[in-house]
Amino acid sequence: MAEASATPVTRAQLHECPGCGLFQVVPAMAPNLRCNCQRCGTALRFTRADPLNHHLALTFASLALFAVVWLAMLMKVSTAGIVHATTLESGPLELVNRGLWPLAIAVAFTTAIAPLIKFLGTIYVLIGLKMSVLPPNLRGIFLISRKIGLWAMLEVLLLGVFVAYTKLGDLVTIELGAAVYALAALTVVIVWAELALDPQAVWEEIERRGQTHAPMPPRTDSPSLLHLRPGSVGCEGCGLVSVPADGDGHCPRCGSTLHERKPGSISRTWALVIAAAVLYVPANVYPVLTVIQLGAGQPSTIMGGVEELLAAQMYPLALLVFFASILVPMFKLLALVVMLLAVQLGHPEAGAGILLRERTVLYHIVAWVGRWSMVDIFMESLLGALVQFGNAVTIEPGIGALAFCAVVFITIFAAEAFDPRLMWDAAGRNAHQPLPSGRPSGVSAEPAR
């Protein structure tokens, strides 16, 4: 962490916490500091030294490694004198051949299309900000690249490769290709790049260069002059607190539609939770994988796969698959139900702030953990492509995998549809009335943590 006396690289700004809805001043911050919401603990900003150039260099490295991941050999497997080498694209192609094209689209989107859009969009924006004449629509491209990052699951793919490699140990002889090592390096670089980025710094540079949706109101560096104007809303796209530009309902900086709360959050989340709960049954009843060895095979459900791993004494791997494929989807559904009921049944009560903070943390966990359930889908895609040795041994993905993938996607959409600020609204904690000075109640400028 930087010294407290270091020169600030940001200005004091008014923020609305995305976790609890509290308006508060984020003070001017030096590099490599973090500022959390004073009420619920949600991170409001991370500052970095030279975030644009550092992130650009790491994104270029990610793109180069990404090309190796998709073009180089992934694995070479052999049994009974038959050798089979595959690349990463073999998984989606095999799913198409098996008639599971929706699953193939899901795998291709999360491991190829979404990461590529994220990398290219980020490079377009960061290089564009270095040019004397800005290329068009930097704000729109940056919005897309940040939002689609939720669906870029290369780090989950790496875990899927590890699980597939472990499960294949007793069936075939395996040789790892360059793509596996590139994927491991890519995962590290992606995490490094995200830690190096301060998205607010990009938005501020776009604003400074004048490529905004509408003219920006004058800014001040003094926290004492920051006021919550009537009708102000925190933008979900870029974080700017503003009154909608020209009354058109859009953020003046990034152009996103402004809402005090996510529209239809409760009804949409309930609908998605119910849909995921319905699909959770066939996802666990129907087979997700069938191993056919010497002409004989037995379809295996998700729980059946866990039991096979336990029988083979692969206890850590069995625990991993059980956690990612059984517990995580169930946990997400139950957690979302708890939060929905907290909104619909919530009422002001003494000490409610403690429970509200815990529920806000629960929401962030739910929003983060759901994508890791895709490890089972990636594993099945890889196994189906790698193990195709005719009568000797063949692995075929099953229809249960399609239902399970739908559960994962729907629960991700449900977590995105839910607005955690509604829990604080329901408890009466967001009745912000302007003080006589014109500043909103609850605003404070704390040292960054």
Q: 57-95: per-residue pLDDT in tens?
A: 999 999 999 999 999 999 888 776 677 788 899 889 888
Nearest to 118 by CA among 197, 209, 177, 44: 197
Name residue 175's beta-bridge partners.
76
Q: What is the pLDDT of residue 199?
A: 94
**What is the distance between the alpha carbons of residues 58 and 157, in angstroms, rounded to a whole number?**
20
Tracing tokens 């989606």 back to the chain, one arrives at: 92
Q: What is the pLDDT of residue 227?
A: 64
Q: What is the pLDDT of residue 353?
A: 59
Nearest to 229 by CA among 411, 447, 14, 403: 14
**What is the distance between the alpha carbons of residues 172 and 82, in angstroms, rounded to a whole number?**
10
Tracing tokens 């402004």 back to the chain, one arrives at: 258
Which range (79-93, 102-116, 432-446) has the least confidence?
432-446
- Answer yes or no: is pLDDT of 320 > 90: no
pLDDT band at residue 6 using 50, 70 and 90 as cut-offs: low
**What is the distance between the alpha carbons of residues 2 and 239, in angstroms, rounded to a whole number?**
24
Nearest to 211 by CA among 133, 145, 146: 133
Count other C-beta atoms under 10 Å from residue 83's C-beta: 12
- Answer yes or no: is pLDDT of 294 > 70: no
Q: What is the pLDDT of residue 293?
A: 60
Token couple for 205: 């540079």
Q: What is the pLDDT of residue 226?
A: 57
Tracing tokens 């966990």 back to the chain, one arrives at: 365
Compute the mean pLDDT over every residue in the chain, rounded to the nearest whole number: 84
pLDDT, one tens digit per residue, over 154-181 is 999 999 898 888 877 766 778 889 999 9
